[in-house]
Amino acid sequence: MDLFLLFLAAFLVNNIVLLRFLGLCPFFGVSSKLETAIGMSMAVIFVMTLSSIITWLLYNYILVPLHLVYLRTATFILVIASLVQFTELFLKKSAPALYKALGIFLPLITTNCAILGVAFLNIDYGHSIIQTIVYAIGVALGFMLALVLMAGIRERIEFAPIPKPFRGLPIAFILASLMALAFLGFVGLFGLSL
Amino acid sequence: MRQVLVLFIVCVLSAFLLSFVYGKTAPLIEENAKKKIEASLKEVFPGEVEFKEIEPGKLWEVYRNGSLAGFVYIHGERGYSSVVRAMVGVDLEGKIVGMKVPKEGLSETPGLGMKVTEPWFSRQFIGKYAEDVKLKKDGGDLDAITAATISSRACVNAVKNGYIELVKKRLPWWMKYIREFAKEYGIEEVEPGKKWKVKDKGLLYLGEAEGFGGKVQVLVLVNDKGKIEWIHIQRPEEGLPETKGYGTEVATQEYEQGFIGKSAANPDVDVLTGASVTSRAVIEAVKEGYKGGE
Amino acid sequence: MFRHFVNGILKENPVLVLAIGLCPTLAVSTSAYNALGMGLAVIFVLTMSNLIVSAARKVIPQNLRIPIFIIIISTFVTITDYVMKAYLPELAKNLGVFVPLIVVNCIILGRAEGFAYKHSVPAALLDGLGSGIGFTLVIFIIGSIREILGAGTWMSIPGGFEGFKVFGEGFLNYPVLFMILPPGGFLVIAFLMALSRKLTGEA
């Protein structure tokens, strides 16, 4: 039950993009088309889960016992960058179609602050390895949810008469504002809070 | 090859720089954290006191003027939808001097269970014995939060169980006698950890003197004529540091009998053969504690 | 030369024009003080990293440049993190996980890769300062707006100054909470972006 609540909190109540402000750059950069949104989300789910596990192991079994906690930031980001490189190479070889579909988004994931953010949060919240996995998957799916919803709306809104200064990004931000407002409604679900 | 060398040099430089900065800032950061915790502890045990951490995050000893004055403990019990943690300050009698429920990590029903953090709820606990706290509906005298019984009860249990698990076994040996007097007659603290006034009976005090193997303590009740009505000499299992079979023979009911009715200022009691140092220590302790009278 | 400095603030303002560095912008702009703190931290990291990258640009190999940039940036981020925790613990607590997250702030990596690696030290320095100030300016404005409307104070400093009560004491009881919450942040940025477009003549 606790794990389910953890998942729910990560997925909805504390949605990483809309309520915790992580992962915004790709959120606005990639959500103009539904297809690309889905592609990016899949990549994020994969990288986020894997990097959370690896950084958790790195932190708890190497950094802490060796009193090297202050190297946390540097090592985590290097792990993520390496993971992304590795994923790129791996996909290129084994699933070239998928690799092509993801295109530029794969390297972009390195700077997705949500990935590094979640790695840090797992440590700060003192998650166990199981909780880490559940949390990472929950957050990634929450990212996907927000991204897909946003893309869906943005595709439609292209045909609306938007005032010139607002076209493109500003209107997307207004959309995000409304979505965040809606998601705030999830606060209190099963007693979960922000 | 050269490229890897560059990478390596960069890493090494970075590591050096970082460990330097870390060395400079780490002590400051720790001090900041300590100050924060101290501020919190002071909230539940106010006054000119110092805290000593015994069990990190769970138990602290409280010292006033160098002597132990009480404890602060943090303990949690499962509430409605989260763990309700209580931070409690108790004196040496096990009486609550301050209590609060920190908001961090508390996730009870907003507007209901969350009310355990409100001051009126925690204020009720002050003055009660931590071991005996109970809600009115469970036979005690604490008000629960309307429609939030589970959260309230969790808080009460956190206070009680925390006390039993963390503090009770660390209380001084004479505490249980004080509690008994308190229950039977009612007592009033005159000097914390030293003197108590027992209703309609007289003065109860703790006396101490140097024995053979360390400090010997006695608990004495004198009536208002200065005569000893009741005495308890510290037993070996209560911490008496005297020689087994010799000094310990002093800590018996028979020897204690010899004190009843004698004057506390100068008890005319025989020294026990083979345990003269210890007997004299006991007599000294009786006099020491009584010095200054009421 | 000075052009580099001014660019970062107006024409190529990282947040309003390039739409990078968004995460900290929204998360930390709930009060003017927090925004200022974050801004200064970013200025420090950005300037230092630009400086080092530019100074070592002849020595840093092409194909290892990204990891090296990352190491340099994360070194300065960690320094900032620990110094802040030691000397400004309340600010550090408010900024939370976003201080270490400066390392993936696209602004910093973007400027290192896109400018510092290819330009002289003085130019890189000015560019870093400019972009950093541009970022700080925006985040400070957003922070001020959100704090004034959402909390009724301006420049309130935790553990110290309570802040100017811009709309008077009464407002403090019923401020526009919406502004402090996530939706408010998005909304303020949306309008600022539109405004900046209008002003720079892009719209």
CA-angle at C35, arms to C32 and C37, nearest 5°: 110
| CB neighbourhood size of B67 (10 A) | 10
pLDDT band of residue A88 (cuts 50, 70, 90) is: confident
Q: Which residues fall within 8 angstroms of residue A115, CB to CB, at 6 or more apart?
A: A23, A44, A47, A48, A51, A80, A109
Walk along chain B (294 residues) in steps of 10 and give the mean pLDDT of each run. 81 88 88 84 88 87 83 88 86 87 75 82 89 88 87 92 86 83 83 84 89 89 89 87 86 89 87 88 89 62
Q: Domain B50-170, what fold?
A: Sufe protein. Chain: A (3.90.1010)
With contact defined as 3+ CB pairs under 8 Å, the chains touching B are A, C
CA B16 to CA C157: how far, in whole Å? 34
Distance of CA B262 to the CA centre of its chain: 33
Query: Chain A closest CA to C74's CA: distance in Å?
Result: 5
CA B176 to CA B143: how far, in whole Å? 27
| CB neighbourhood size of A40 (10 A) | 29
pLDDT band of residue A188 (cuts 50, 70, 90) is: low
Q: Do C97 and A18 touch (CB under 8 A)?
A: no
Instruction: Give the tokens for residue B213.
Output: 């193997």
Q: Say how many CB pairs under 8 Å bridge A and B.
A: 19
- For C40, half-sphere exposure in the C-beta direction (CA atoms, 13 angstrom radius) is 13
Query: Chain B closest CA to A192's CA: distance in Å?
Result: 7
User: Per-residue pLDDT for A175 more than 80?
Assistant: yes
Question: Higher-confidence residue: C153 or A80?
Answer: A80
Instruction: List the single residue in B2, B10, B29 with the smallest CB-CB distance to C71.
Output: B10
Residues from chain B that touch C74, judged by Cβ atoms under 8 A, are: 14
> Quick one: pLDDT at residue A191?
58
pLDDT band of residue A10 (cuts 50, 70, 90) is: confident
Residues from chain A that touch C182, judged by Cβ atoms under 8 A, are: 18-19, 21, 180, 184
CA-angle at A185, arms to B105 and A127, nearest 5°: 30
The structural domains of chain B, with segments of one domain joined by +, span 50-170, 175-290
Is B12 an interface residue toward C (CB < 8 Å)?
no
> Quick one: pLDDT at residue C76?
92
> Quick one: pLDDT at residue B242?
87
Q: Do C61 and B26 touch (CB under 8 A)?
A: no
Q: What are the beta bridge partners of residue B53?
A: B60
What does the radius of gyration of chain B's CA atoms come to, in whole angstroms?
26
Q: Do B25 and C63 touch (CB under 8 A)?
A: no
Q: Which residues fall within 8 angstroms of residue B233, CB to CB, at 6 or more apart?
A: B216, B218, B240, B250, B251, B252, B255, B256, B282
Q: Do C103 and A28 touch (CB under 8 A)?
A: no
3-state secondary structure B77-115: EECCCCEEEEEEEEECCCEEEEEECCCCCCCCCCCCHHH
Sequence letter at residue C62: Q
ipTM of the complex: 0.80
Burial class, C104, CB count within 10 angstroms (exposed 0-12 / middle 13-18 / buried 19+): buried
Strands (E) in chain B, as ranges, are 50-55, 59-64, 67-78, 83-91, 96-100, 187-191, 195-198, 202-210, 215-222, 228-233
- Structural domain harbouring A17: 2-191
CATH classification of B175-290, choosing from 3.40.50, 2.60.40, 3.90.1010, 3.40.5? Answer: 3.90.1010
Domains B50-170 and B175-290 share a fold: yes
Is B19 an interface residue toward C (CB < 8 Å)?
no
E strand or H helix at A96: helix A96-102
CB B222, CB B228: distance < 8 Å? yes
CB C119, CB C127: distance < 8 Å? yes
> Quick one: pLDDT at residue B268?
87
Domain count, chain A: 1
Q: Do A191 and B109 touch (CB under 8 A)?
A: yes
Q: Do C86 and B18 touch (CB under 8 A)?
A: no
Residue in A closest to B79 by C-alpha: A191
Q: Per residue of chain C (203 residues), what is the pLDDT tens digit? A: 666 666 666 666 777 776 777 878 888 888 888 899 999 999 999 999 999 989 888 888 877 788 888 889 989 999 999 999 888 888 888 888 888 888 888 788 888 888 888 888 888 888 888 888 888 988 899 999 998 888 778 888 876 677 777 777 777 767 787 888 888 889 998 888 888 888 776 65
Residue in A closest to C24 by C-alpha: A21
Query: Chain A closest CA to C81's CA: distance in Å?
Result: 10
Per DSSP, the residues of A127-191 read --HHHHHHHHHHHHHHHHHHHHHHHHHHHHHTTS---GGGTTHHHHHHHHHHHHHHHHTTTTGGG
Residues from chain A that touch C104, judged by Cβ atoms under 8 A, are: 77, 110-113, 116
Q: Do A173 and C193 touch (CB under 8 A)?
A: yes
The structural domains of chain C, with segments of one domain joined by +, span 2-199
Query: Chain C closest CA to B29's CA: distance in Å?
Result: 5
> Quick one: pLDDT at residue C202?
61
Query: Chain C closest CA to B45's CA: distance in Å?
Result: 22
Q: Do C104 and A73 touch (CB under 8 A)?
A: no
CA-angle at C105, arms to C100 and C106, nearest 5°: 160
> Quick one: pLDDT at residue C159?
65
Query: Chain C closest CA to B104's CA: distance in Å?
Result: 14
Residues from C contacting A (CB-CB < 8 Å) are 19-24, 26-27, 66-67, 70-71, 74-75, 77-78, 81-82, 97, 100-101, 103-106, 109, 181-187, 189-191, 193-195, 197-198, 203
Residues A97-117: pLDDT tens digits? Answer: 767 766 666 777 877 888 988
Instruction: List the single residue in B6, B11, B26 with the smallest CB-CB distance to C60.
Output: B6
Residues from chain A that touch C81, judged by Cβ atoms under 8 A, are: 73
| CB neighbourhood size of A130 (10 A) | 10
